[in-house]
Amino acid sequence: MEKLKIGVIGTGHLGKLHVKMFKELENCECAGIFDTNLLQSENAAAEFKVKLFNNEEELLNSVDAVSVAVTTSAHFEVANRCLEKGKHVFIEKPITSTISEAEKLVKLADKKNLNLQVGHIERFNPALVSLEKYISNPVFIETDRLSQFNPRGTDVAVVLDLMIHDIDVILSFIKSDIKKIDANGLAVVSDNVDIANARIQFENGAVANVTASRISQKKMRKMRIFQKDTYIALDFVTGVSEVYRLLSVDENVLSGISFGEIGIGDKKKRLIYEQPQVREINALQYELQLFVNSILQKTKPIVSGEDGLRALRVAEEIIKKIEESRMEIQ
């Protein structure tokens, strides 16, 4: 079996998880790690029994691809050096701190014919994966992504830290340009916005209402999707999804519970409740496996650099709208 040699740059919380996952994949070899924090990298090397490189250059000379798990502010510098050296790159979300940086990475990866995948992990959440056959043309999406306070991630607004997960998922569902964005938010416990709400209107008429907070008493990751004759609810934390559908009375249903019929005459329909079977997958391992597969099979990553750039553009527009609304209040 052909194996991809991959290195991990950044051995913080996420970086260590990447090392663990890569070591468990059959078609890749975790060739080593590097971090400017020597103590942190030494501990990771000892824990996972992987090679510790003394510098980034040595690591890049020994691998085919790199997983970039450094702080967001360093994403561009590290990923740019990796791509310049001809290495495929997996980069955690958000792709970069600024749109111009993301554009440069996307352009460079395309120029060098390299795979650039962004770590929007919720695309691979079991609850979402189980809904592939049900989601067709959403007209309204509502999300709540709430977390208890954690200093990690407060170097950026909650829009880039948390909300961008839902932005990416929404953009993957609604294939339409954005018409208008309205947003509000507040900085409460950090210097950046800690709680935010945005309303995104698309040219095709679809609307998304997105809320994110990192100062909640409890953790919540929920999404509700409405489309013609269908209501879908999913919980990213529990991995459970539920589907309510209106089907014609003569349509054959292989699974689900019927809640009776509504309407009269030829407009009569049955209300069917289903709880789609959820695949037992580790979302992080699944997305890293697909990254490795895309390189070996010479295919485009599922969450491409272009996807990461588009999500970042929307996130930056939301932040801009929040700043404008705060200026109006002052």
Q: How does pLDDT run across 229-248, given as a tens digit for each residue?
A: 999 999 999 989 999 998 87
pTM to 2 decimal places: 0.92
CA distances from 316 to 162, 213, 219 (A): 13, 17, 24
What does residue 328 show for φ and ψ, rounded to 5 degrees? -65, -35
Domains of the chain (ranges; CATH) run 4-121+283-301 (3.40.50.720), 124-280+315-324 (3.30.360.10)
% of the chain residues with pLDDT over 90: 78
* Beta bridge partner(s), residue 4: 28
Q: How does pLDDT run across 185-203, given as a tens digit for each residue?
A: 998 877 788 999 999 999 9
How far apart, in whole angstroms, are the C-alpha atoms of residue 168 and residue 123?
8
Torsion of CA 115, 121, 122, 123, to 10 degrees: 20
Please answer whether residues 287 and 121 qualify as being in contact, where contact means their C-beta atoms are separated by less than 8 angstroms: yes
What does pLDDT average to over the chain? 92
Q: How does pLDDT run across 45-103, given as a tens digit for each residue?
A: 999 999 999 999 999 999 999 999 999 999 999 999 999 999 999 999 999 999 999 99
Length of the chain: 330
What does residue 266 show for φ and ψ, rounded to 5 degrees? -75, 0
Render 52-100 in DSSP notation, one character per residue.
BPSSHHHHHTT-SEEEE-S-GGGHHHHHHHHHHTT-EEEEESSS-SSHH
CA distances from 62 to 30, 105, 227 (A): 11, 22, 49
How far apart, in whole angstroms, are the C-alpha atoms of residue 44 and residue 93?
22
